[in-house]
Amino acid sequence: SLTGLYGENYEVVDEKQTTLTVEYAAKVKYADVFFFMDRMRGSDDHKSTYFELSPRLSLGEVSGQKLAFGPIKDVLISTTWESNNDDFSSFDNFLYGVGFDLAIPYFQYANVNFYRASNENTADDYQMTIAYALPFKLSNEDFLVDGFLDWSTGEKDHASELNWTTQYKWNVGKHISPETRLYLGIEHSVWNNKFGIKGSDENNVSALVKYHF
């Protein structure tokens, strides 16, 4: 998918920011993978590129055993590569841990991952990531609420962070053709101690347009 965002209440670096996001997700034998890359341009022409690559290995599929119990559908080895490149901060962080796919009524998907983070420029810490998607209908219109929550521990050189970002989208594409997935909506981001900076709290709503290939 390709997403365009514009917001005017960012907390760190630039108050106004335009973001172009490319996302890719796939399910392959024994594993799944998610990738996104943000290309950001701020109001003072500051530019940055950030990406995450998150492959996960299904222990249930590798072992041939059903690892489902309660709301848990599968147990996975989870990894993530975080990378940033701009004038202020360049880094490569590597996260590894365990993930759980969850079966929750009405949700398209939901999962939770627990990581140990090996950080290049800051002290290593621990992170929990929750991802989810909830499709629903109002009359004949299709909507999708999806997003993630990242929480990481505070260490000697940075504060604990919480980043809860949710997109609220209307599928206007179905009025073009049944197979067209063109979404309009907003992205709401709540980010406490952004980038580990104590007291840098963000509550931002951005305009959104998104197209799925």
Longest dimension (CA), the chain: 54
* In the chain, beta strands by DSSP E: 2-7, 17-28, 31-42, 47-58, 72-86, 91-102, 109-118, 125-138, 141-152, 161-171, 181-192, 202-212
- CA dist 100 and 112 (Å) reads 5
Q: How would you write the pLDDT of the chain (213 residues) with one tens digit per residue?
A: 999 999 998 887 788 999 999 999 999 999 999 999 999 998 777 899 999 999 999 999 999 999 999 999 999 999 999 999 987 789 999 999 999 999 999 999 999 999 999 999 999 999 999 999 999 999 999 999 999 999 999 999 999 999 999 999 999 999 999 999 999 999 999 999 999 999 999 999 999 999 999
What pLDDT, on a 0 to 100 scale, did the predictor assign at position 160? 98
27 exposed, middle or buried (CB, 10 Å; 0-12, 13-18, 19+)? exposed
pLDDT value of position 46: 86
Cβ–Cβ < 8 Å for 153, 160? yes
105-109: long-range contacts (C-beta < 8 A, 24 or more apart)?
Answer: 106/134, 106/136, 107/132, 107/133, 107/134, 108/133, 108/134, 108/135, 108/144, 108/146, 109/133
Q: Are the C-beta atoms of 74 and 67 separated by less than 8 Å?
A: yes
Beta bridge mates, 83? 51, 92
pLDDT score for 206: 96
Tokens 């990738």 identify what position?
A: 35
71 vs 143: CA distance, rounded Å: 25
pLDDT of residue 109: 97
Q: What is the pLDDT, as a whole number, of residue 164?
A: 98
Pick from 52, 50, 31: which is nearest to 40 by CA? 50
According to the model, what pLDDT value does residue 12 have? 78
SS3 104: coil
